[in-house]
Structure 1
């Protein structure tokens, strides 16, 4: 039986599964990670077996958003394909994502690996925003079910950068695509530096800081009033949170605990066996970099300005140019 494997091959995670199988989609770290204490190498989803996430060493196949380390990627794919395709890859089809404006030599490496190494019967390379347009967008906005929007604009914020991609009749407009060199990796690194400067040295704790970012951070609807709230006394501050760091003995994942009355000015302290980190304006000022990269000295447009530039770059009268992708 010929199956179609859908593989959203992101720089941080792989999202994939068999077409038509709702129980199949999986979220797998796209990395080989070495533990500090056990010196074991965890490939992809094996990371869930790790018991000590302190000072992990990451080997990533992607660099600045482009797949360049095929040795690492091959190892991760071998495990993923073995799990998803019990009968092997030879008689199956593959739909895989790649970055916008992927380099030609990297595209050739994709094809060589897919057809020569894994022997898939056929392959289709596309971008993640294109697959979003193929999704049922109409129901997200309360429109008639099944209708296809004439125009759409997708904001794809990934691990290495953010793309603004306009579509007309499900075709991407090449000259309207804008890229911002801000993604999840930069935000995590910025949070590491901020926490290490203000509170406690956590420059080696990428995994813990990333969990903290995903748990505590949010995009503010109005930054200035939220900053005013953060300056209030502790008991009147509705934004501050107490994040309990993992100790890797009783708990391996950090969590937010309810506020317990007035706190001292020391952000880092111990309460019984818990180590607490107080998260205040970091919660929304880190994601704010997506809106204003100039906050950290990057001379680039933020997402709102990039959206305006993308729409203005689309000529409403002349013919549109779609990005060609080879199958």
Structure 2
């Protein structure tokens, strides 16, 4: 078939004349006579590729011969396959296609906050009043013990008796789902299989899905997610949304109990993967003002592993244990001046001139032995206990104790949230990132955001986090501005609860979700635009 190119715009009329010429030098006929040749042209239009059957005028070098019927017949046979349908059959008029869209099943929605460290999930009925108790938190990982070779899938980790040297496989990296093989196995185990917890088991074909995501997620990862949800799990309908924005839906109307987003809200989501600042206005994310810090819970745990391995034991393979230690003993100092004072109190002195550590800062953490105890615990510092352990002298009563004396590790590790340059990360601290985010907003919005800062995520549970953040931001803004920083009642489940309250409103959910029939009819490109 000849390759044709359109010289100028034209109307797609099968009976009309088209101004075209051949792209290739080979002519369909050999005789240099002017005439018309019946052909089939493939034209690319904005609405798709259409096949047009008609006639075209040949040029001086590429002409057909009306005097050679055999040649003309062979040319016609080559260009006119019998199976080609008419243009009106191939491309129906715009808007004539009958929609197969079905209404979503609004009676039950699975709200899934897909975090990097844990999943927060729960079923929400239409018109209900969900609370924190309706949310289930489960590890988002597959763990394998290098000792007994046992594998633990998500919630099965709660039954583990030996957390020593566990190897973790996490499907989420930097806040984005990158390993769907592992994530699918976790989802199926948590809400589809027979091992699913009571109240979580559901049939995706009869359930809506509200799934959270991080801002600025790559489009290819979003497309993969959409395909998994509709083509493999086959949910009835689906809504993918930036998780932190759902924190705006936490103020039920006192008159009719409807949930409306707060007008101005600055959400600081400090999670396992990173820390994100998200300004929200009337329930809409101001994309240009979003800022991200690479410091999250994972980085803090890894830094604590390095410090403890350098000063005490080799604990580079004890991620689970070090994460527990971080959560148990960490605190954030109120200011940089206090940081220097605490650092002085934990200094042991020069060699040959040692001194006692301050009992106000240093604590002892008793490590678990995974025989008599599964979890460790913190207690006041006892210098004599540390000395006895170093000399190999143990108490005659009770099990043997391995103790970590933790001093500046307690406050130097979480200090990275406010001063990441301490370990060479060239980023502004949390307060600086907040001011960078607000700098692109109008003055009126900036004032409203500063008066309504909400922090969520596991790192916000570190003692002193809210007070330090408010003090640092207060020092960077004019005195006449009000600065109010609050921590959610449950910063782990708060995003999930915002999504649950959103999903409990039939009108909001009906406008937001996309049904499986719509996805099959309009495709992934349309879905990406719908959720953008």
TM-score by length of 2: 0.55
TM-score by length of 1: 0.88
CA distance in 1, matches of 2:320, 2:381: 24
Query: 1:124 aligned to 2:229?
Result: no
CA distance in 2, matches of 1:12, 1:314: 32
Larger Rg: 2
Gaps of 5+ in 1: 139-145, 319-323
Partner of 1:197: 310
Partner of 1:40: 150
From 415, 429, 436, the counterpart of 1:309: 436
CA distance in 2, matches of 1:48, 1:65: 23
Residues 221, 193 of structure 1: CA spacing in aligned structure 2 closer, same or farther, 3 A cutoff? same
Alpha-carbon deviation of 1:135?
2.0
Residues 235, 103 of structure 1: CA spacing in aligned structure 2 closer, same or farther, 3 A cutoff? closer
Deviation larger for 43-52 or 309-318: 309-318
From 186, 190, 200, the counterpart of 1:76: 186
For the residue of structure 1 that corresponds to 2:111, the secondary structure is: strand
Gaps of 5+ in 2: 1-104, 254-258, 349-354, 446-528
CA distance in 1, matches of 2:409, 2:389: 12
Alpha-carbon deviation of 1:291?
0.6
Query: 1:279 aligned to 2:406?
Result: yes
CA distance in 2, matches of 1:220, 1:57: 33
Query: Could you give the per-residue CA deviations for residues 20-39 of structure 1, whole angstroms, max 9, x where no partner exists?
Result: 55543111111100012221
Alpha-carbon deviation of 1:187?
0.6
For the residue of structure 1 that corresponds to 2:301, the secondary structure is: helix
Q: Give aligned pairs, total.
A: 315
Alpha-carbon deviation of 1:227?
2.0
From 237, 240, 245, the counterpart of 2:367: 245
CA distance in 1, matches of 2:146, 2:361: 34
For the residue of structure 1 that corresponds to 2:204, the secondary structure is: coil
Contact kept? 1:157, 1:183, Cα under 8 Å: yes
Partner of 1:228: 344
For the residue of structure 2 that corresponds to 1:54, the secondary structure is: coil
For the residue of structure 2 that corresponds to 1:295, the secondary structure is: helix
Query: Could you give the per-residue CA deviations for residues 119-170 of structure 1, whole angstroms, max 9, x where no partner exists?
Result: 11111111221111212499xxxxxxx8964321111011111101111222
Question: CA RMSD, aligned part only?
Answer: 2.6
Alpha-carbon deviation of 1:225?
2.6
CA distance in 2, matches of 1:282, 1:133: 35
Query: 1:17 aligned to 2:122?
Result: yes
Contact kept? 1:93, 1:121, Cα under 8 Å: yes
From 109, 112, 128, the counterpart of 1:4: 109
